[in-house]
């Protein structure tokens, strides 16, 4: 899953597609083409930063950012497109524009989102987050982070199925860095088997995150590529099926080498694990 942020303030690439305060749609679509050429199975388009400390934006602004990009990507390329949003209005606008997957850091808890997703027949990714982006890293606290996150994801999966979303259309994400300390993140990664045991494809997003910098003694964002590749390969070796990354070409190569060593077929792409619900 290749990251395509159309935000002015994302932690790694915020502002890349903005010029003088306005979104450069053509530049964002060109980056989407690069992501596809680099080997991504899914392009994940996001119009609101969820980095620690990020301020929320209005749904209308989010729609203005993601819809024109998704429309052009959908019309030009044969690729799965996901929308990274928590608002039902944005989900609906993005799917009408051509997206087929909703990647939600709040696990479809916006009122009406589950029923809408069931009726729309989209794939969904449910992520765990303790707190909200502006303050989630202030004092994250758990008794047993893995058990609590796994229980949350299992419960949200069951709520989605009860709402009519097909089980085959659901992926789960433990939410590395979303209301978790360094120790919490390490525990989640060490015990990934407890998430694959839920029976849904596990999506993992660790690309360029502070976890990598901390594990490597304080590396800046631009120095975290190789550490991120190590984490991506580790996660796939432990059963993760979808890797969300800013660095698509390098990550595809790392996973491809791992797959070759493990005897897996290159045709079994991560994106094949998440399907739209039959209409």
- Is 180 a catalytic site residue? no
> Active-site residue among 106, 114, 157, 244?
244
Gyration radius (Cα) of the chain, Å: 17
Instruction: Place 52 in a pLDDT band, splitting at 50, 70 and 90.
Output: confident
pLDDT of residue 19 exceeding 60, the answer is no
Instruction: Place 109 in a pLDDT band, splitting at 50, 70 and 90.
Output: very high
For residue 244, the SS3 value is strand
Summarize pLDDT for 215-261 with one digit per residue, the tens: 999 999 999 999 999 999 999 999 999 999 999 999 999 999 999 99
Summarize pLDDT for 263-274 with one digit per residue, the tens: 765 444 444 555
Position 8 scores a pLDDT of 76
- Select the CATH number that applies to the domain covering 2-273 from these four: 3.40.228.10, 1.10.10.10, 3.20.20.20, 3.10.20.30: 3.20.20.20
Instruction: Place 275 in a pLDDT band, splitting at 50, 70 and 90.
Output: low
- Is 16 a catalytic site residue? no
> Active-site residue among 209, 224, 238, 279?
209
Domains of the chain, residue spans: 2-273
Residues 175-197: what's their mean pLDDT?
97
Residues 91-110: what's their mean pLDDT?
98
Query: pLDDT above 90 covers what percent of the chain?
Result: 80
For residue 257, how far is the Cα from the chain centroid?
23
42 with 3: CB under 8 angstroms?
no
How far, in Å, CA of 252 to CA of 243, rounded?
9
Position 14 scores a pLDDT of 45
Position 267 scores a pLDDT of 45
Beta strands, E only, the chain: 2-5, 18-19, 22-23, 42-46, 80-84, 101-104, 123-127, 170-173, 203-205, 242-244
């Amino acid at each position: 899953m290749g990251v395509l942020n159309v935000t002015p303030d994302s932690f790694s690439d915020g502002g890349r597609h903005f010029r003088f305060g306005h979104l450069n749609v053509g530049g964002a679509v060109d980056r989407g083409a690069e992501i596809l050429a680099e080997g991504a199975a899914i392009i994940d388009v996001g119009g609101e930063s969820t980095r620690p400390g990020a301020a929320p934006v209005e749904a209308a602004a989010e729609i203005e950012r993601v819809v024109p990009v998704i429309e052009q990507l959908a019309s030009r390329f044969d690729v799965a497109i996901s929308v990274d949003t928590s608002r039902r209005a944005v989900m609906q606008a993005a799917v009408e524009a051509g997206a087929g997957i909703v990647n939600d850091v709040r696990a479809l808890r916006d009122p009406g989102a589950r029923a809408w997703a069931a009726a729309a027949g989209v794939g969904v990714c449910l992520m765990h987050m303790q707190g909200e982006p502006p303050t989630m890293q202030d004092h994250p606290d758990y008794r047993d982070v893995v058990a609590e996150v796994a229980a949350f994801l299992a419960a949200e999966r069951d709520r989605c199925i009860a709402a009519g979303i097909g089980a085959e259309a659901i992926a789960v994400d433990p939410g590395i860095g979303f209301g978790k300390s360094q120790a919490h993140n390490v525990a989640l990664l060490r015990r990934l088997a407890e998430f694959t045991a839920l029976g849904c494809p596990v999506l993992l997003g660790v690309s360029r995150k502070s976890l990598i910098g901390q594990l490597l003694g304080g590396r800046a964002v631009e120095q975290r590529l190789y550490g991120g590749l190590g984490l991506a390969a580790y996660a796939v070796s432990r059963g993760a099926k979808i890797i969300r990354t800013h660095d698509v070409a390098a990550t595809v190569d790392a996973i491809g080498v791992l797959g070759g060593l493990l005897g897996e077929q290159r045709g079994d792409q991560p994106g094949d694990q998440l399907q739209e619900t039959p209409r």
